[in-house]
Structure 1
Amino acid sequence: MKIAVLIARILLGLIFVVFGLNFFFHFLPITPPPMSAKAQAFSGGLYGSGYFFQYMKVIEITSGLAILFNRYTAFFLLILFPVSVNIFLYHSILMPSGVPVAAVIIVLHLFLAFSYRKYYASIFTAVPTVS
């Protein structure tokens, strides 16, 4: 199990670091497939905000590096979970050509979250008490 967690952690960390850095430095020649009108509207709104993609990519790079180096891994998995879910939903609903990669991301993320589940136990306390 430890080997599977290590492999999943490295893969997920690399995905977020590489694609996050590629947003800023364009070292991977990626030709985006044609987008539907809804996908264009969604992406246009996020790009149009002027800050969202830059902010998200910095979070992806920072979190990906932490996951790669196994530092605060459970915390950064929690931070990245909304990003992974949105990647999966975006490709499932608006741009189905990217579903295979999005499925790999969500499966790796869920596997790692399950593997680190003991660190999330206190989050799911129904009625917390102050000590």
Structure 2
Amino acid sequence: MPSFTSSRPPPLPPSDSTTFANLLMSSKYMTFVAVLMVIGSLLLLVGKYVPLGLTLLGPIIVNILLFHFTLMHGGAAGGLIAAVFEIFLIVAYRRSFRGIFDADPPPSTTI
């Protein structure tokens, strides 16, 4: 007589990270983020408009790190490496970013 008991445990309910990732994928939000990642990466690879590429990639890297530190609790090595490279390039191109920290910048007179 065959036994109908399973030796496998029942599947676990989806975790917060799985639910969040599925929501981002189903809403096409990740498609938009992927396009920004490709554009930012191409700007860095070509070497033109590097500060713009860094500006596009910065918030994406922050979100990758926040996802891994708050929801997934692990696997943040790739995000940390990307953050180190981002910081290195920001320091290398610091002259392009110096106006960000002006408390009261004068308005531009040229257009």
Counterpart CA distance in 1 for 2:92 and 2:70 is 28
Deviation at 1:95, TM superposition (A): 2.0
Q: Which residue of 2 aligns with 1:26?
A: none
Q: Which of the numbers 64, 76, 96 marks the counterpart of 1:119?
A: 96
Structure 1: gaps of 5 or more residues = 1-35
Q: Moved runs in structure 1, 4+ residues, more than 3 A?
A: none
Q: Which residue of 2 aligns with 1:96?
A: 73
Task: Show CA shifts across 1:26-62 (max 9, x none).
Answer: xxxxxxxxxx61101211221232x211111111111
If asked which structure has higher relative contact order (CA below 8 Å, sep 6+), I would say 1
Q: Which residue of 1 aligns with 2:21?
A: 43
Given that 2:65 and 2:79 are in contact with CA atoms closer than 8 Å, whether structure 1 keeps it comes out as: yes
Q: Which has the higher helix share?
A: 1
Taking only aligned residues, the RMSD between alpha carbons, in angstroms, comes to: 1.8
Q: Which residue of 2 aligns with 1:73?
A: 50
Identity percentage of aligned residues: 28
Q: Which residue of 2 aligns with 1:106?
A: 83
Q: How does 1:54-65 map to 2 (within 5 A)?
A: 54-65=31-42
Residues paired across the two proteins, number = 96
Task: Show CA shifts across 1:47-106 (max 9, x none).
Answer: 232x21111111111110110111100111011100011111112222234211111111
Q: State TM-score, norm by structure 2.
A: 0.77
Residue identity matched to 2:26: G
Q: State TM-score, norm by structure 1.
A: 0.66
Secondary structure in structure 1 of the residue aligned to 2:75:
helix
Secondary structure in structure 2 of the residue aligned to 1:111:
helix
Larger radius of gyration: 2
Residue identity matched to 1:55: F
Secondary structure in structure 2 of the residue aligned to 1:98:
coil
Deviation at 1:111, TM superposition (A): 1.4
